[in-house]
């Protein structure tokens, strides 16, 4: 059952930049470039011939890993392993703990998780909801131009830009509620993250209720009444059928998860 090595027929040009500046230059305008974070998605896609990139930009030596705190501002490098987040406060810590297993969390990166294309049988991007709830910004590059913008704006064009880091202000309170995974290797079927900023702003976001993470503005507006907020969340997303859960099931469970997150936020207030 040998699967032929990608090494033997490598037509892929490998780019291994040694710094952020080199990574930005190597990415260029992104044409024909597949970005490799930890490799947990790209490597098996190449093994099974679902992907045969002309150029692979391997970021392992580009110095983009690490968590920095400046006052209340937290900046997480795109190459930081998901495992490095598990002890952070909610929603990020419990959300990261809910990603795959120890080995894959230790190799898979924050940038890879946020930028992953849609999966073959389920959405990817487990961390998107948690970062959206934190009101995170994304610092990214294309054609040598580095910009920082709200993560929501970045996610829509995540294939066209090279993510360098994400930043957010430590929230006053945070919460996470997700469906238990039947197996540790399942992607997040459905999860809701919530955070209250120090200025009182409440943000809610879902992962697994669409192609990628989505804010739940209708639920946020109704947050004073958790039951109403749960139902309102269904106006913000269109749950879908896939291998992990049916649209019907997601529709039934999303309000429950919203209520749990609001209850947890209230407790920690």
Strand partners, 140: 147, 163
- Smallest gap from residue 71 Cβ to another protein (A): 32
Under the criterion CB under 8 A, does residue 43 sit at the interface with another protein?
yes
- Which residue of 17, 27, 35, 39 would you call a contact of another protein, by CB under 8 A? 39
104 binding another protein? (CB under 8 A): yes
Tell whether residue 156 is a contact of another protein (CB under 8 A): no
Q: What are the angstrom distances between the C-alpha of 234 and each of 25, 162, 205, 224?
A: 42, 32, 12, 17
Q: Taking CB under 8 A as the rule, which mask of x and - marks residues 177-216 in contact with another protein?
A: -------xx-------------------------------
Nearer to another protein (CB atom), residue 2 or residue 269 = 2
Task: Select the span of 9-17, 18-26, 85-93, 159-167 touching another protein (CB under 8 A).
Answer: 9-17
Size of the site for another protein (CB under 8 A): 33
> For another protein, which stretch binds (CB under 8 A), given 4-12, 87-95, 169-177, 259-267?
4-12
Peptide bond into 158 cis (omega under 30): no
Sole binder of another protein in the list 23, 56, 84, 189 (CB under 8 A): 56
From candidates 33, 46, 133, 136, binder to another protein by CB under 8 A:
46
Q: What is the 3-state secondary structure (H, E, C) of the chain?
A: CCCCCHHHHCCCEEECCCCHHHHHHHHCCCCCEEEECCCCCHHHHHHCCCCCCCEEEECCCCCCCCEEEECCEEEEECCCEHHHHCCCCCCHHHHHHCCCCHHHHHHCEHHHHHHCCCCCCCCCCCCHHHHHHCCCEEEEEECCEEEEEEHHHHHHCCCCCEEEEEEEECCCEEEEEECCCCCCCCCCCCEEEEEECCCCCEEEEEECCCCCCEECHHHHHCCCCHHHHHHHHHHCCCCCCCCCCCHHHHHHHHHHHHHHHHHHHHHCC
77 touches another protein (CB under 8 A):
no
Which residue, 26 or 42, is less far from another protein as judged by CB? Answer: 42
CB of 162 to another protein, least distance (A): 17
Residue 255, CB-side half-sphere exposure with 13 Å CA sphere: 15
Q: Does 69 bind another protein (CB under 8 A)?
A: no
Is 3 near another protein (CB under 8 A)? yes
Asked if 36 touches another protein (CB under 8 A), the answer is yes
Kindly write out the interface string for residues 106-145 of this chain, putting x where it contacts another protein by CB under 8 A and - elsewhere.
xx--------------------------------------
Least Cβ distance, residue 82 to another protein (angstroms): 13
């Amino acid at each position: 059952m040998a699967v032929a090595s990608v090494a033997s027929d490598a037509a892929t040009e490998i780019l291994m930049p040694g710094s952020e500046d080199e990574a930005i230059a190597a990415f260029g305008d992104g044409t024909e470039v597949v970005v490799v974070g930890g490799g947990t998605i790209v490597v098996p896609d190449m093994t099974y011939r679902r992907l045969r990139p002309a150029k692979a930009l391997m970021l392992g030596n580009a110095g983009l890993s690490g968590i920095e705190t400046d006052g209340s501002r937290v900046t997480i490098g795109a190459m930081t392993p998901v495992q490095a987040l598990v002890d952070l406060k909610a929603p990020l810590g419990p959300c990261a703990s809910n990603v795959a297993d120890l080995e894959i969390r230790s190799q898979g990166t924050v940038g890879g998780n946020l930028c992953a294309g849609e999966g073959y049988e389920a959405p990817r991007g487990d961390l998107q909801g948690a970062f959206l709830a934190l009101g995170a910004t994304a610092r990214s590059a294309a054609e040598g131009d580095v910009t920082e913008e709200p993560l929501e704006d970045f996610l829509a064009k995540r294939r066209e830009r090279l993510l360098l880091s994400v930043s957010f202000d430590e929230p006053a309170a945070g919460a996470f509620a997700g469906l238990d995974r039947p197996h540790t290797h399942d992607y997040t079927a459905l999860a809701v993250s919530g955070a209250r900023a120090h200025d009182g702003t409440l943000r809610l976001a879902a992962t697994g209720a669409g192609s990628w993470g989505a804010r739940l503005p209708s639920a946020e507006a109704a947050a004073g009444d958790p039951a109403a907020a749960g139902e309102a969340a269904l106006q913000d997303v269109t749950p879908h059928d896939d291998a992990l859960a049916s649209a019907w099931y997601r529709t039934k469970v999303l309000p429950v998860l919203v209520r749990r997150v609001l209850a947890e936020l209230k407790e920690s207030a």
